[in-house]
Structure 1
Amino acid sequence: MMVPPDIEAFEERAAIAEFDGGLTRAEAEDVAARDQGFISAQYYWQWLADYVVNKGYPR
């Protein structure tokens, strides 16, 4: 079973990459997603959405 990604770490990494690294938000999110083993932010967000819908993630 795969554990949900660390959303706080994702957001922090993306913010650092965007502001300190001079990347666009989309580029920064791709960096943050790759840090957690995803190929892009699109796959990160899709995995998270599927997890919430299919596993009944607590509100």
Structure 2
Amino acid sequence: MNIPNIEDFEERAAIAEYDGGLSRRAAENLAAQSQGFASARKYWQWLAEYAHREKLP
């Protein structure tokens, strides 16, 4: 799996929330799904594990 793009995630979630009228949770889930994750929770979990594994600051 490629490293998720946080900028794309945030932009897509913001558009879905403000222009699409979705709740923030639904908008973030949609943004995560667009990058191949089941949910925003899984998206952030993957990123946290990646940062820990790669010892990112």
- The normalised TM-score by structure 1 is 0.90
What stretches of structure 1 of length at least 5 have no aligned partner? Answer: none
After TM superposition, which residue ranges in structure 1, 4 or more long, deviate above 6 angstroms? none
- The normalised TM-score by structure 2 is 0.93
In the alignment, the residues of structure 2 paired with residue 4 and residue 52 of structure 1 have an alpha-carbon distance, to the nearest angstrom, of: 10
CA RMSD, Structure 1 to Structure 2 (Å)? 0.9
Number of matched pairs? 57
What stretches of structure 2 of length at least 5 have no aligned partner? Answer: none
In the alignment, the residues of structure 2 paired with residue 8 and residue 49 of structure 1 have an alpha-carbon distance, to the nearest angstrom, of: 16
Q: Could you say which residue in structure 1 is the equivalent of 2:50?
A: 51
